[in-house]
Structure formats: structure tokens, C-alpha cells
Amino acid sequence: MNEPVRHLVVIGNGMVGARFAEEVARRDPHGQRVRLTIVGAEDEPAYNRVLLSGVITGAYTAEDIRLPQPDQPWITYRTGTAAQTIDTSTRSITLDDGTHLDYDELILATGARAAFPPITGVAAPDGTPAEGVTALRDMTDCHRVRALTRPGAPVVVLGGGVLGLEAARGLAERGARVSVVESSPWIMRRQIDQPAAQILADLYTAIGVTVHSWRVAARWVPGTGLELDDGRTLAGDALIVTAGVRANTELASNAGIAVEHGVLVDDTLTTSHPRVHAIGDCAQHPGGGTGLVQPGWEQAAALADLLTGTAPNARYRGARPVTRLKAEGIDLTALGEVDADATAETVTISDPYGGRYAKLSVREDRVAGAVLLGFPEAASTIAQLYDTATAVPSDRLALVQGRPQPEDSTTAQVETDPLVCRCNAVTRGGIEAAWLDGARTRETIAEATRATTGCGSCIRDVNALLSGWSNATPADVT
């Protein structure tokens, strides 16, 4: 029974490629079904890109955010080597060191790279960033950002999306004077509405970050700063470009695999070529979900189910992404439709003074969309209701405010004789009866009624009753 196992080759050792290796290792711990080769262009082991903004602040070291790397003998890592071509007819890839790798199934997890907007002075014609300019996409960028930004020095962040705002918060924490420039009418344009964005911008202003929305950058002048289209110049020793990403699709398109913004995949995460799959930021699924790590990880799990044969019926049916801003002291969650149409009911709370904003849209009892700024408890509940498509409670305002539903008068017990000792089911009346029978201390009450002998949390109440009664005449207590 020495059947040769199937060979899976993964191109890309980033968050999703590495997670795919983990998911395969969990399903096939002894390599009885597949062996795995992971090709990574970077020399460094895989790391958690989501936490790079924490490396900027110093909350994490580079070592801290390394990803687990399964070390089974049937998993081979080829790092520091880039894949150059795919030949789907011979089922092999060519690496930049001239070697070839044959595969049974190929998994593209090539991710995405920072997109540099066509602004004068930002990048050389070959795409190399100009002096003082950096993206924030990988560890090298992160080191560059740390080198370029010093406490007290001005920095410009170009792009007011999630990554830009997280970077701005981190840089402010390091003591930099930060300006954020966003070409859309408001920051986080894709995830939140304008009133929320206004309150969010105010929160950033309060921590010393100025936000310039609906402003187009005209020119980067090294040593000076960023010129805007209204003629102003924002001082900046450094320009951090967080203005979107572009999927790495060249390998696939050169091999004749169908590509739009990303490599097109179906619910089995298969590309137009049946032996080639794509997951993570390089993939484009009809259900969306690019740009966040959670959908990529869900894709990795589903594809591992399929390719190890653990669950041949596994499908990825699109994401229900939840955006969570990681910015110290600012709690923002956004999910689903930002502006649900009239078929949804929407609850809105706006509290600019308190720096809080909540908007919850519900359609057919399910969460259609939400923006929650400064409502952390409600945010986690609503995100789970959205994620699991669970029906929302009838009291939507209570849900948004994150407090339990008030007790319905039909369920609340009318306590004419309240329970004092829950452990032993002793009521106030029972304790009173023991007192009338002569029990005057906590100990004698306990002997007579068992009250206070369980968890002990009613000792205070019993003592209070006793001292109250001892100051009263017996006639008063009956």
C-alpha cells in the first residue's frame, strides 16, 4: 500500500499561504494524503501582516509576529525563491533559480502589493518609491517607516482607509505629527458613512492627527512634504502610501489563466484551469472579500478540506467581512451594507460630543449592515449576529446600546417574600420566623434555617436584617 501521495505546491508564503499549510497539516498530520511545497519570494519566514502597524509602535517585535510554520518532514519550504512561470500542460513551475517543481495541484497565494497613485514625485517610472516614500505592506516597509519617522517629526499618510488610519494612529503613538490625506469625500469611504467618518476624523484630531478628506495630492517634494491640489503643502519627512493594493496576478495571466482584478475563482477556489487554485488577496471570488485576512483564512480552510479529501463537499461561498479598526483607544467596527436601502430598518445614534456613532440596519430580522464607533460591547454581539446570520432581538436600541433587554413584566416575579439565601432557598420570611423564635445571631439563624451556609454571599444581608430588627420592637416586624 505504498501509493505515492499527491504533491501540492503553494506559491506565496504570506498569511494565507502559511495558513493553508497549517490547515493541511491539521487534516493530514502524517502526510498520508499529500505532500506540500511552499515557495516564498521573501527570505524571511512568514509573518502576520495584520500586526505590522503594531510593529511600528513597538507593541510587537518582528519576531513576535512570525507565523507558525508546521515542520512535518513532508512539508518543504523554498523561501528566497520566486516562481517565474507556470506550465499548466506539464503541471510544473519554474523558479528563478532555474529549478522546476512538478505539481498535482497548484495553489496561488501570491497576495497583493501596494498601489502607488500617479502623483508627481512619488515613484520613479520603474515603480521604485522616491526618497522619503514608502508603502506599508511588508516587513521591509515597516523597517523603513520606523527609520523615516522620528518623534516630533511631520509625516504624511496618503490614503485614509483602514491601513492608513491604523498607521496614523501608530505613528501618533510614536510621537510623530501626522497628516492623513484622503481623495474620497470621507475617510474609510468603503466601510462607513459620512457622519461616522466625521466623528472618527474628530477623534483623530483629538490625538493630534489632522485629516484632509476630499483632497487630491499634487506632488511629493522630498525634504518638504506633500503639495495638495488646493495649493497647500503638508509638511512631511516621510510619505506613507496606503492608497490601495493591486493583486499579484501576473504569474496566472502569463499562464493563460483568467484574471480580472484578481485571479478568478469559483466556490471550490479553482481558477479557469482545473488544477490551479487561488486564495487570499490574489484571488477574486464573486462573493468578494478581498483585502481582509479572515476571508483568506476561510478560503485556506475550505481548499484544505477539498485537496486533502477531508470534506469533498466544502465550498467557499463568499465572505461576510467585518472590518475592525486596530487603533489604540478607538473602537470601530463596520460590516455589511453601509447605506442599506429602504427595505431595511435602520437605527441610528449619533453622539458627536461623546465621539460615538452607531448605525444598525436590519432586513428580515437579520443584520444587513452596521457601523459602530465607540460601542465595543454591541459591536461584538452585532458582528456575531451578522457572521452567523442569526435573528436580531426585537429591542434594537437595547442591542445597539449593548445592554440586556429590560425584563418583561410578565416574566419578572413579583417577590412578596424575597429570597435571601439562594443556596438554601431561605426567604426573608423564613429568617424573620427564626428571629421570632429567638434566633438572634447569624450562627443561630444558620442553625435554624441553613441561611448563609452555602456560598456565603448573603451573610451581609442576614446581618443587616438582624441589626435592623434588633433596633426595632418585635411588634414592628410582624
* Between 100 and 460, CB nearer to another protein: 460
**Does residue 379 belong to the site contacting another protein (CB under 8 A)?**
yes
Q: Report the DSSP pairing between strands 238-241 and 105-108.
A: unpaired
- Is the separation of the CB atoms in 236 and 221 below 8 Å? no
**Does residue 161 belong to the site contacting another protein (CB under 8 A)?**
no
* Between 262 and 321, CB nearer to another protein: 321
**Does residue 423 belong to the site contacting another protein (CB under 8 A)?**
yes
* Minimum gap (Å) between residue 475 Cβ and another protein: 32
Give the interface size with another protein as a residue count (CB under 8 A): 55
**Does residue 324 belong to the site contacting another protein (CB under 8 A)?**
yes
Cell numbers that stand for 244 in this block: 490601495
Sorted by sequence, the CB contacts under 8 Å of residue 354 that are 6+ apart come out as 374
Could you list the beta-strand ranges (E) of 71-146: 75-79, 83-87, 92-95, 100-102, 105-108, 112-114, 133-135
The residues in 385-404 that bind another protein, with binding defined as CB under 8 A, are: 385, 387-388, 390-395, 404
Q: Which of 421, 431, 418 is nearest to 453 (CA)?
A: 421
Q: Which residue in 33, 146, 219, 326 binds another protein (CB under 8 A)?
A: 326
Q: Which of 15, 248, 232, 236 is nearest to 145 (CA)?
A: 236
* Between 1 and 412, CB nearer to another protein: 412
The residues in 91-130 that bind another protein, with binding defined as CB under 8 A, are: none
Q: Report the DSSP pairing between strands 263-264 and 283-284.
A: parallel
Span between the terminal Cα atoms of the chain, in Å: 87
* Between 264 and 330, CB nearer to another protein: 330
**Does residue 409 belong to the site contacting another protein (CB under 8 A)?**
no
**Does residue 410 belong to the site contacting another protein (CB under 8 A)?**
yes
Q: Which of 51, 239, 282, 274 is nearest to 149 (CA)?
A: 239
* Between 48 and 346, CB nearer to another protein: 48
CA distance 63 to 54: 12
- Give the helix, strand, coil percentages of the chain, each rounded to 5: 25, 25, 45
* Between 29 and 185, CB nearer to another protein: 29
**Does residue 5 belong to the site contacting another protein (CB under 8 A)?**
no
* Between 436 and 455, CB nearer to another protein: 455
Convert residues 261-300 into a mask of x (bound to another protein by CB under 8 A) and - (unbound). --------------------------------xx------
The residues in 435-474 that bind another protein, with binding defined as CB under 8 A, are: 447, 450, 452-457
**Does residue 405 belong to the site contacting another protein (CB under 8 A)?**
yes
- The full length of the chain comes to 478
**Does residue 26 belong to the site contacting another protein (CB under 8 A)?**
yes
Q: Report the DSSP pairing between strands 100-102 and 92-95.
A: antiparallel
Convert residues 40-69 into a mask of x (bound to another protein by CB under 8 A) and - (unbound). --------x-xx--x----xx---xxxxxx
Its sign, for the CA torsion 127, 133, 136, 138, is positive
- Is the separation of the CB atoms in 39 and 78 below 8 Å? yes
Bridge partners of residue 34, in order along the sequence: 6
* Minimum gap (Å) between residue 161 Cβ and another protein: 16
* Minimum gap (Å) between residue 242 Cβ and another protein: 18
Bridge partners of residue 83, in order along the sequence: 95
* Minimum gap (Å) between residue 454 Cβ and another protein: 4
* Minimum gap (Å) between residue 157 Cβ and another protein: 20
- Is the separation of the CB atoms in 438 and 416 below 8 Å? no
Q: Nearest 5 degrees, angle CA 333-CA 335-CA 336? A: 165
Q: Which residues bind another protein (CB under 8 A)?
A: 22, 26, 48, 50-51, 54, 59-60, 64-69, 293-294, 322, 324, 326, 331, 376-377, 379-381, 383-385, 387-388, 390-395, 404-408, 410-411, 422-425, 447, 450, 452-457
